């Protein structure tokens, strides 16, 4: 009868006879991960790009449908980075709104900073606002969606941005009205025309492309967004500054 040694598993024997690999010489196997590498440090992504991406998602999808996880995927960063930096979605929303609206307001607010007469300031403001509408459809979208229901977000927008601007507009309109005749329209109605009325022309580009071309006067000769914005500003001012 064969000894127990002769019946040993040949694989086990061959493994047992292999000399040990010296420490430090063993090959290192790296597991390759799928997808984009995740950035986890606060310095790994531009702040403006982060806030712009967040604001665009809030404007397009609404607050409730937007998630920090989806934003992290869009940015190519880890979900943890947004949690560490902002803590909660509400804080990210505030940061994105503060950044975007402050950036967009600079050009319009220059109308209040000139030494021109109040009427010239009003004219300049309307022209600036109509041109502002060309590139800020995302702000119009978020104000439209948030303006339809009571929420802490609507309170935040009105307290920090809308009411301060309206107060300055009211003072300007009052000053102009003390010197000449104005069409009796409230500041709230004027803001709605400027923000949502004019902006819809530029925000709804595919709809405008399907409308019939104009054949009368100079309307068919307007080329470019700025020319259309200036034409709408002149139209609004002609109605606002009645009697002149």
Q: What is the mean pLDDT of residues 213-242?
A: 83
For residues 161 and 146, give the distance between their C-alpha atoms in angstroms, rounded to a whole number: 13
Question: 71, 93 in Cβ contact below 8 A?
Answer: no
Res 26 pLDDT > 60: no
Q: Which of 80, 105, 82, 107 is nearest to 92 (CA)?
A: 82
**Residue found by looking up tokens 């007469």 in the block:** 117
For residues 87 and 80, give the distance between their C-alpha atoms in angstroms, rounded to a whole number: 9
Over residues 78-117, the pLDDT tens digits come to 888 898 999 999 999 999 999 999 999 998 989 988 788 9
Res 77 pLDDT > 60: yes
Considering the domain delimited by 43-240, tell me its CATH architecture: Orthogonal Bundle (1.10)
């Amino acid at each position: 009868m064969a000894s127990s040694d002769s019946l040993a598993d040949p694989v086990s024997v061959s493994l047992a006879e292999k000399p040990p690999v010296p420490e430090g010489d063993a090959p290192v196997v790296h597991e390759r991960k799928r997808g984009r590498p995740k950035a986890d440090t606060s310095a790994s992504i531009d702040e403006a790009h982060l806030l712009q991406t967040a604001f665009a998602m809030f404007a397009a999808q609404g607050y409730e449908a937007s998630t920090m996880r989806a934003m992290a995927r869009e940015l190519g960063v880890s979900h943890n980075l947004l949690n560490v930096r902002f803590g909660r979605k509400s804080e990210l929303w505030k940061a994105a709104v503060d950044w975007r609206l402050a950036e967009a307001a600079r050009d319009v607010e220059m109308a209040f900073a000139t030494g021109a007469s109040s009427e010239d300031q009003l004219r300049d403001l309307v022209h600036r606002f109509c041109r502002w509408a060309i590139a800020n459809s995302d702000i119009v979208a978020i104000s439209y969606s948030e303006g339809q229901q009571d929420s802490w977000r609507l309170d935040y927008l009105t307290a920090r941005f809308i009411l301060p601007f309206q107060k300055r507009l009211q003072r300007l309109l009052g000053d102009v009205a003390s010197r000449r005749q104005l069409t009796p329209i409230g500041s709230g109605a004027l803001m709605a025309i400027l923000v949502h009325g004019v902006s819809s022309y530029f925000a709804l580009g595919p709809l405008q492309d399907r409308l019939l071309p104009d054949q009368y006067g100079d309307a068919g000769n307007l080329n470019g967004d700025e020319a259309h914005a200036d034409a709408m500003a002149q139209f609004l001012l002609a109605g606002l500054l009645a009697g002149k």
